[in-house]
């Protein structure tokens, strides 16, 4: 035939994936929001703020050189290995609720992972530049492949997309392990209420990563299946 048509228009499987993605995103986002709100009304058993407790966890985890700064927004907290700082949202930095302490310690958990050279963290950090590139270009390459009717380009696009799927899969153990470190720290230094709340908030947070990874895997399998059938 020679004519390669990807047929990306009306496809129920594709719309199924879009709906699955929106549905899981909505469910997991509202779940974490609900858990966070509930536990942000409960005072942690610690005297200090989220930043204070995170500082203690950093010091004990061999990551005392890590800085703590604030970042604007709600649930925007992250650890950046490039500047070696925890970036905590105002409410978690200055607040002393179970939710604030849990999130702050989760981010401290990432810094401790780095200090202890935790392997999945190292892999994830190494993948960041590759993924930044592949996430930006895969769709362009894909569309170019479809319009130019070039199956080779479509294959390259799918390989690029696969990188972000691998990245999301590597992210899962990193996130779960950071939460485990946080819960462990709160368990040994705080009280039952801290452990209970942290477990609920951080499990909800982990579910958002699991849902995102699941959608990506399904999307990748779909793209691979579509391309095979066109051979």
Active site residues: 107
Tell me the C-alpha distance between 87 and 231, whole Å: 48
Least separation in angstroms between residue 202's CB and Zn ion is 9
Q: Which is nearer to Zn ion, 109 or 145 (CB)?
A: 109
Q: Are strands 85-89 and 67-71 parallel, antiparallel or unpaired?
A: parallel
Least Å distance, CB 143 to Zn ion, is 32
DSSP string, 128-188: HHHHHHHHHHHHHHHHHHHHTT-HHHHHHHHHHHHHHHHHHHHHHHHHHHHHHHHHHHHHH
Shortest Å, Cβ 174 to Zn ion: 7
**148-207 binders of Zn ion (CB under 5 A):** 175, 178
Task: Please measure the distance between the N-terminal and C-terminal CA atoms of the chain and give it in whole angstroms.
Answer: 11
Which DSSP helix (H) or strand (E) runs through 54? helix 50-60
Scanning residues 21 to 60, which ones bind Zn ion (CB under 5 A)?
none
Q: How many residues bind Zn ion (CB under 5 A)?
A: 2
Q: Which is nearer to Zn ion, 146 or 178 (CB)?
A: 178
CB nearer to Zn ion: give 48 or 173: 173
Residues near Zn ion (CB under 5 A): 175, 178
């Amino acid at each position: 035939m020679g004519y390669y048509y990807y047929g990306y228009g009306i496809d129920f499987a594709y719309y199924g994936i879009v709906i699955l993605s929106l549905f899981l995103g909505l469910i997991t986002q509202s779940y974490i929001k609900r858990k966070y709100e509930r536990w942000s009304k409960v005072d942690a058993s610690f005297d200090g703020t989220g930043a204070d407790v995170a500082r203690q966890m950093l010091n004990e985890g061999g990551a005392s050189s890590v800085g703590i700064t604030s970042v604007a927004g709600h649930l925007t907290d992250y650890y950046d290995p490039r500047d070696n700082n925890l970036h905590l949202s105002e409410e978690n930095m200055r607040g002393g609720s179970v939710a604030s302490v849990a999130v702050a310690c989760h981010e401290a958990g990432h810094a401790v992972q780095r200090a202890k050279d935790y392997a999945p963290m190292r892999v994830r950090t190494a993948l960041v530049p590759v993924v930044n590139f592949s996430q930006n270009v895969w769709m362009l390459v894909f569309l170019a492949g479809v319009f130019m009717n070039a199956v080779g380009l479509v294959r390259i696009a799918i390989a690029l997309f696969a990188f972000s799927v691998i990245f999301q899969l590597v992210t899962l153990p990193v996130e779960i392990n950071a939460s485990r470190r946080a819960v462990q720290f709160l368990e040994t230094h705080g009280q039952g209420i801290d452990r209970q709340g942290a477990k609920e908030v951080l499990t909800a947070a982990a579910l958002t990563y699991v849902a995102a990874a699941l959608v990506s895997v399904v999307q990748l399998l779909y793209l691979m299946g579509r391309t095979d059938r066109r051979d």
